Structure 1
Amino acid sequence: MKISIRRRLTFSFLLTVILSIVTAGLISNYMIDGRFNQYLKQTHENKIQKVVKIAEELYDSSEGFEGIDPFEMKRYAVLEDIYIEIQDADGSIAFSSGQGHLVHKKRMGNMMGHMMGRRMMERIGEYIEEKHPLYHNNSKIGTIHIGYYGDWNLSEGDVGFKNTLNRAFGLSVGIALLFGFIISIILSRQMTTPLVKIIKAANEMKNGNLGIRAEVPTSTLEIEQLANSIDYLAETLQQQEMIRKRLTSDMAHEIRTPLTTLQSHIEAMMDGIWDPTTERFKSCHEEVLRLKKMVDSLQDLAKLEQSGQQVNKSTFDLSLLLDRIVESFQVQAQKKNIRMLSHIAPNFTVHMDPDKLKQIMYNLLSNAYKYSDENSSIEVALTHDKNNIILTVRDEGAGIEVKDLPYIFERFYRGDISRSRETGGAGIGLAIVRGLVEAHNGKITVESVKGKGSCFRIYFPIEMLVSKKES
């Protein structure tokens, strides 16, 4: 049987409070009760010794116990709730207080026992009588019998105090348990209410509402992190859903256009409207190549994912590799009179995958060329700081809209649809670049201003730099 986390937390907190309070209460009660009993025992023993001493002081060498004032001794016995009987050396009773007052105490104890419970009757106890010898000048002069009820002749005040103490402990435990129960409910509610909201948001996401957000005000760090993770997941899924829908529309359009062109050309030639000339076959061939280019791009991305972005590292001169790439783009750049600027620090020997570095650079430079106007410039730079090798590709092209910047590295995302159709891109080039960079434990960032150009920076760990010799 499944139970809610709120009930589980409430029961757990309450059980912990109960065990703690009961344990502390029992230990405290045991220690205080034991200490109080020790005090009562010592007080009783002192009382007995005092009675013995009084009896010895009442003895007179000439008169014996004849001089005892019966009234004073009886009053003392009643006051102390004890029976006193003094016998001389011959065994004759010199004084007896009688037990009438003790019988009265017993009756009162029984009555209070019926009113306050069995524990009060147990406190009164059974009748006990002690016998102590009496001495005068180290000679035995007689015997004193001292009788009382209970182990230590507890008075009604003593019994009442002990009962009050026990009731106080019981009341304290009860109040503490009540507070513990209330606090456990409050704490469990504070912890579970945000979780319930997060679960509700997750269920909304499961049902397709990706616009939901787990807005959970909480002071608990872990719950806040969980809520932020749910929000990030919802936002990411929402973005992916948007990209997926856009991809479906874009790919349908991209595939439909060349297929429609091929269909109309072939049907025209089949119906005899057009003659199958070389130019018309060439036009059909261009459309086929356009379709093949899109398929090849998809295959490149699939291969990248299937290979797990594995890299085959080797040691080579990164500066020399970049110089060659820039030089190879010079011819293409001249078609639009674009200046290729190189700020590449020399003699960077690195341990990386040269083929994937070429693929990264060709993708970035191809994008820079496609979206750059005539008579502009493209810059390639290589430098480093204490933590990273920094590779920069900057252009003065059309730039990227601010709203598109967070998504440009997502597969199949294309910001300007009309421009992308003109250039024929499928929207996966930058996704491949990011995958290759991350395969080298690096990261890529972009800064762009619409109409002024873009700047891509790649950061590779400095550990990949084998050496750098200044020329």
Structure 2
Amino acid sequence: MNLGSIHFRLTLYHGSLVAVTLVIFALASYLSFRRHLISTLEAQCASQTNQIAQSLLVGLPASGIAYVQDEIQEHYAPEANNLFIRILSSKGTTLYESGNPRDHSFTPPQLGFLPTLDKPKADLDPREHKLIFIRPYPLSNGDSYQIQIAASLLPVEGSLDGLWKVGMLLLPLALSASVLGGFFLSKRSLERIREVVATARRINSSNLQERLIENQTGDEIQDLTRTLNQMFERLEASFTLMTRFTADASHELRTPLTVIRGNLELLLHQGKALPHKPSSEVSEILSQTLEETERLSQIVGQLMELAQLDSGEVKLEREVFNLTELVAGAVDQLQLLADDKQIQLHTELASPIAFKGDRYRVKQVLLNLIDNSIKYCPAGSQVCIRLFSNSRAAVLEVSDNGPGLETDSLRHVFDRFYRVEKARSRELGGSGLGLAICKSICEAHDGRIEVESRPGEGSTFRVLLPLKDPAPASRLCGISTLPAH
């Protein structure tokens, strides 16, 4: 999963919020339950001391100390109930003191009479696991007594320990369930955004008329979809105007350039036949002007071709042909040019590959790629042309061991009018449009073109053409496997 994606961040935020909420809720529940248990125990101690005071101590002068001791032992049974009870007099005497608790869960407190105590008091002793409750009780005859009762905290701590274990078991489960639920809910919520992104990625210069499906949900995704559709409408209008302008300008420039070129050729031809031939300087100027005019005519023609490809005016003449034979023919066509530059052409061609497409346009791509390798490689270099296929596409690779391309150039090599070495490209007649045309032709065949290169190690241009409806090999009669050259 992409850690920077909205999906991951939503899941992280949701999980963190739920975790903090569960921890706070668990701690609050634990502390509340602890307070409730201690308050209950304290209330029981207060009730018992009050009963002793109201039912036994109030009649102490008449009933006597022995009666009070017997009644406490009989009705409250401190040792059996794991309690400790002590009754102290303000005179320093002990009216009653029970024995140690039967379960030995705590040691009896060693407290004397507290003369400053005027109201009931409860103290916790967590280290001794006990609660101590003291109730003062004055009699009408002026005597004052304090009833001390101690109770074990082990039952309370046992209940809290059980609650803690249950919480430690349920909290991870609840958190995991919440995170998984948040993961799938956020994934489902973002599914529409993924659909919008996928559709937007499919829209390019060849299908700008397509639009995103706008669901009437009234939410932010609908606003995003509507905004993207409006942007595509503006892009389509701008692209149409640009394409129309390029096509119209190229068309209008072709006639004047043709006239200029013809006049220059006529001047050069007639100048040679005149009795007084023009000077060599004039002839050189005319030749250079004619050369530049021819280059400009080539650029205008390529611009018009690109505009037609962009606008969809060029209809591909799709037919089934032998792609292997086409590649071999393109290599043979450029063999003389390679020999002139002392560049070796090497081919590795697969058995006949049936491809359905525009034979002329595919050959145009092949000639352009091979011609570029021949132009920009120094003498003694080698250009390798490979053709093979897999289950989905025919793959053509044109590799060389020339100077290669810089990383920055790789990002722009298919841009229009981009030239790696402008001075050298101009010297070799390059216009910066050839690879852009190759890209448009490949995309018109639903294919793609890509490049791999390292400075000083050469470049590899790779064309992938999908084999959508290949013809059986029997239809390619008369074509045999071509060996490597």
TM range (shorter): 0.3 to 0.5
TM-score, length of structure 1 as denominator length: 0.42
TM-score, length of structure 2 as denominator length: 0.41
